[in-house]
Amino acid sequence: MIVRPVFSLPDQQDAQLKRAIRLEWWSIFFLLTIAVVMFMATGNSQAMRAAFIEDLISLVPPLSFLVANRIRKTPPSVEYPYGRNRATLLAFLAAAVAVSIVGLFILYEGISTLIKQDHPTIGHFYFLEQQWGVWAGWIMIVALTYSIIPPFILGRKKLPLAKDLHESTLYADAAMNKADWLTAGAAILGVLGIGLGIWWADAAAATIIGLDVLKDGFSNVKRAMQDLMDHRPADIATGKPLNLEQTVRDALLQRTEVDELAIRLRQEGRMIAGEVFILLHTETNVAEQIEQLNAHALSLDWRLHDLVMMPVTQAKMKALHQP
């Protein structure tokens, strides 16, 4: 049993990955502080509880990325001849399913409260079993404001790294961080609504938060499943094809050794693999020609790895090009 060659990042991408890992650790730190602050300020607001739950589940993507990234570093073996490059995708899929379930729960609570027409109240702030002379809503608003700032900044820093690393898991985490202001904003409106006597504002805010969590969960499940099903290499931000197959085709057809070729590529996390079928101009020194062409193809993009290149006959090439 032979194993796949180890996939190594170029120096620039390796440095970016190390920076992304540091940012994920900072994300975990700030999310824990946000969770503590939110827990202390939650009170009777359903929107606050929903925002607190979302802050807790926001820990799942960075934790999944860090754990899976360590697993992915394990070299290919006889048991795993293709390596563990998809570890991050499996972890991210599990996290996305969990987020979707939590979103459904928050949405159910918000809608059921609206139907039952429960009237929540917010009194004075209690801390260390003592009542303080301040409306608890103001403390909630301060806590929610704090919950916006760190994720927004970290999300903006992670987005360009995710694009450069072609890391869909990191991109989805960054996008969720950047969009967390919507959750906090809805919760603030809910708290102010209670203060103004608008009983349904809190439950409506919780429903909006549930919809936002559910949207994140479903979109991330879709993204993870696409990556796991060997889809065509695509831009992680736009979902549009990268057209790497055309880049490889154009480059190889410029070589005098190649008369025609057919190619198919698949995405495996940040790595792109595939097969290239080549009709050679001459049939002398076939092995040497294939090795040189393979090295040239791999040099075109750092994401390309383990391209299987196979010489074929004219008849086989014609069959490959038929729909």
Q: Between these two residues, 68 and 46, which has the higher pLDDT value?
A: 68
The CB density around residue 82, as the number of other CB atoms within 10 Å, is 13
Query: Which residues of the chain are in CATH 3.30.70.1350 domains?
Result: 244-320
β-bridge pairing 258-268 and 124-127:
unpaired
Q: Which fold has domain 244-320?
A: Alpha-Beta Plaits (3.30.70)
Confidence (pLDDT) at 225: 83
Per-residue pLDDT band for 278 (boundaries 50, 70, 90) equals very high
Q: Dihedral, CA atoms, 174, 166, 22, 15, nearest 10 degrees?
A: -150
Confidence (pLDDT) at 130: 57
Confidence (pLDDT) at 24: 94
Q: How far apart are CA 173 and CA 23, in angstroms?
A: 11
- The CATH number corresponding to 11-228 among 3.40.50.300, 1.20.1510.10, 3.30.390.10, 1.10.3470.10 equals 1.20.1510.10
Query: Which residues of the chain are in CATH 1.20.1510.10 domains?
Result: 11-228
| Lookup: tokens for 190 | 């809910």
Question: Is residue 126's pLDDT more than 60?
Answer: no
pLDDT tens digits for range 161-205: 999 998 888 887 887 776 677 777 777 887 787 777 777 777 777
Question: Is residue 227's pLDDT more than 80?
Answer: no
Q: How far apart are CA 106 and CA 200, in angstroms?
A: 15
